[in-house]
Chain A
Amino acid sequence: MSGAHVSTTINGDAVEFACPQDESLLDALRNRVGLTGVKEGCGTGDCGACSITLDGRLVCSCLVLGVEANGKQIGTVEGLADGDQLHPLQEKFIEHAALQCGICTPGFLVAAKVLLERNPDPSETEIRYALAGNLCRCTGYDKIVRAVQAAGKEMRKQNKKKAKKKKKK
């Protein structure tokens, strides 16, 4: 087994790691970079717990090889908050009790962020289908969908404020 040297950017920081060429990006992120917020629920792309963004696209990191991350931009749950400022999705997930055990939460947050960036005001159905690749066994999804709706509302409010400020300038 020959190893690979990978240079990548994770949550905005340059990161280098070495891994076997057949190792998944999920394993590399967890075991070599130490980002254990990326969870393994199945390892086969069926549960979404390992969701990350790869050059801005939502993917399951278990279905990507570590070596494929070379030269790419990776986003994980660890990069969601801005310093001590939680992302609105993180705030709303806590506020709406959208997690019980919390193992699926990192994947849901990453997937919901991609959704709200693409579609700032999704319908309930759009939210449900966009999150269909993330399994949750605790909540029945009710409070998760409500938290995403609330976060969308909050983000739209924030964006409006930002746009107003820009206009004033």
Chain B
Amino acid sequence: MRYEAPTTSKAAAELLAAEKGKAYVLAGGTDLLVRMKSGMLEPDLLVDIKQIAKMREISKTASGFRIGAAVPGVEIGEHKALGKAWPGVVEAAQLIGSDQVQGRCTIVGNLCNASPAADTVPALIAAGAKAAIVGPKGRRTLAVEKVVTGPGQTALAKAEIIEYISLPKRAPKSGDAYLRFIPRTEMDIAVVGAGVNLTLARGIIKSARVSLGAVAPTALLVADAAKAIIGSKLDDEALDKLAAACSAACKPINDKRGTIEYRTRVAGVLARRAALIAFERAGGKR
């Protein structure tokens, strides 16, 4: 195996493009190294992107925020402006693993690992985040919900790298939240995750995005769930409809972490709770 640590995105893409064997991007490594240890992955080339200065930054731009692909969770948590604007996204990023894992893990890694249970993905989808991709054929932008195509599968072509995630500017009277269920208090993979982002106009929900994790092959953007609360003050009836729409959208499996029945039901419970938090953050009053 060869290890390379280029200093530009272009050089990284070129290295990946030129490799004939199995090549992987190394960001935090918290998933990659585990899979290498188990023998599931035997890379011929690892391209470490942590020496690429641009990928190590969180920057505030005119249109919102850019979170570099190599920014570890702990730095996302320390960024005050980002936390104020997108508390749900930041909370989701902070839920990945322990403090030790936070020292390494990245949200782009969480996304590209393409696990249905990734914590940041529903929060990013709800936030309307976009992935900025660089590759041999140039640059492109893709909505986060389009990046993962199936368990372990992404829409990235060979040698394409996500350079950063962009989050829109926080609209006035809006808020987001992410909740997940795990059996313990820490260290588990989500059994169910729910992200909600909503905007109010005169106290009423004007727009909303609701996303679920760990209940289908990929994280879901549930349009019916958003519809259920748009136009409401998040009264109990709207919440019931939201929960029902979320449960209806679930296509989960039985596995070592949860059952179909459990995931279906708890998806509704968590979406309801996340919506209440987002609503409060937006300044809403029920």
Which positions in A face B, CB cutoff 8 Å?
A: 1-2, 4, 20-22, 24, 43-46, 48, 51, 54, 57-60, 62-65, 67-68, 111, 114-115, 129-130, 132-134
Q: Are B3 and A133 in touch, CB under 8 angstroms?
A: no
With A21-B1, A45-B34, A132-B186 as given contacts, are A58 and B29 in contact (CB-CB < 8 Å)? no
Q: From residue B129, how far is it (CB to closest CB) to chain A in Å?
A: 25
Complex CA–CA separation, A34 to B198 (angstroms): 54
With A114-B99, A129-B186, A133-B97 as given contacts, are A63 and B34 in contact (CB-CB < 8 Å)? yes
Q: From residue A76, how far is it (CB to closest CB) to chain B in Å?
A: 13
Q: Report B175-197 CB contacts with A as 1/0, cut-off 8 Å.
A: 00000000001110000000000
For the A-B complex with A20-B1, A68-B50 known, give 12 more contacts whose Cβ atoms are closer than 8 Å.
Answer: A1-B1, A2-B2, A21-B1, A22-B3, A43-B37, A45-B100, A58-B99, A59-B100, A63-B29, A132-B185, A132-B187, A133-B100
Partner of A133, one of B1, B5, B74, B186: B186
Q: From residue B186, how far is it (CB to closest CB) to chain A in Å?
A: 4
Is residue B98 contacting chain A, with contact meaning CB distance below 8 A? yes
Q: From residue A57, how far is it (CB to closest CB) to chain B in Å?
A: 4
Is residue B171 contacting chain A, with contact meaning CB distance below 8 A? no
Q: Which residues of B contact A62 (CB under 8 A)?
A: 33, 37
Is residue B72 contacting chain A, with contact meaning CB distance below 8 A? yes
Is residue B53 contacting chain A, with contact meaning CB distance below 8 A? no
Q: Are A4 and B37 in touch, CB under 8 angstroms?
A: no
Partner of B48, one of A43, A60, A68, A114: A68
Complex CA–CA separation, A111 to B103 (angstroms): 12
Q: Which residues in window 1-55 of B have CB below 8 A to A?
A: 1-3, 5, 26, 28-30, 33-34, 36-38, 43, 46, 48, 50
Please, could you name 5 A-B residue pairs with CB atoms under 8 Å apart, sorted by A?
A: A20-B1, A21-B1, A48-B100, A68-B29, A133-B186
Q: Are B103 and A58 in touch, CB under 8 angstroms?
A: yes
Q: Are B3 and A111 in touch, CB under 8 angstroms?
A: no
Q: Are B37 and A51 in touch, CB under 8 angstroms?
A: no
Q: From residue B112, how far is it (CB to closest CB) to chain A in Å?
A: 16
Q: Are A133 and B104 in touch, CB under 8 angstroms?
A: no
Is residue B270 contacting chain A, with contact meaning CB distance below 8 A? no
Partner of A45, one of B5, B50, B101: B101
Q: Which residues of A contact B103 (CB under 8 A)?
A: 54, 57-59
Q: From residue A3, how far is it (CB to closest CB) to chain B in Å?
A: 10
Q: From residue B82, how far is it (CB to closest CB) to chain A in Å?
A: 18
Q: Are A65 and B100 in touch, CB under 8 angstroms?
A: no
Q: Are B100 and A111 in touch, CB under 8 angstroms?
A: yes
Q: Are A60 and B101 in touch, CB under 8 angstroms?
A: yes
Q: Which residues of B contact A133 (CB under 8 A)?
A: 97-101, 186-187
Q: Are A45 and B30 in touch, CB under 8 angstroms?
A: yes
Nearest CB in chain B to that of A128: its residue:
B185
Q: From residue A128, how far is it (CB to closest CB) to chain B in Å?
A: 8
Q: Which residues of A contact B5 (CB under 8 A)?
A: 68
Nearest CB in chain B to that of A131: its residue:
B99
Q: Which residues of A contact B36 (CB under 8 A)?
A: 22
Complex CA–CA separation, A48 to B29 (angstroms): 16
Complex CA–CA separation, A130 to B50 (angstroms): 25
For the complex of A and B, 8 pairs with smallest distance between CB atoms = A133-B98, A132-B186, A57-B103, A21-B3, A59-B103, A22-B1, A60-B100, A133-B100
Greatest chain B CB density within 10 A among A24, A60, A115 is at: A60
Q: Are B100 and A58 in touch, CB under 8 angstroms?
A: yes
Nearest CB in chain A to that of B98: its residue:
A133
Q: Are A21 and B97 in touch, CB under 8 angstroms?
A: no
Q: Which residues of B contact A43 (CB under 8 A)?
A: 37
Complex CA–CA separation, A132 to B46 (angstroms): 30
Q: Which residues of B contact A64 (CB under 8 A)?
A: 29, 33, 104
Complex CA–CA separation, A90 to B50 (angstroms): 34
Complex CA–CA separation, A58 to B100 (angstroms): 5
Partner of A57, one of B1, B3, B72: B72
Q: Are B104 and A63 in touch, CB under 8 angstroms?
A: yes
Nearest CB in chain A to that of B187: its residue:
A132
Complex CA–CA separation, A134 to B50 (angstroms): 26
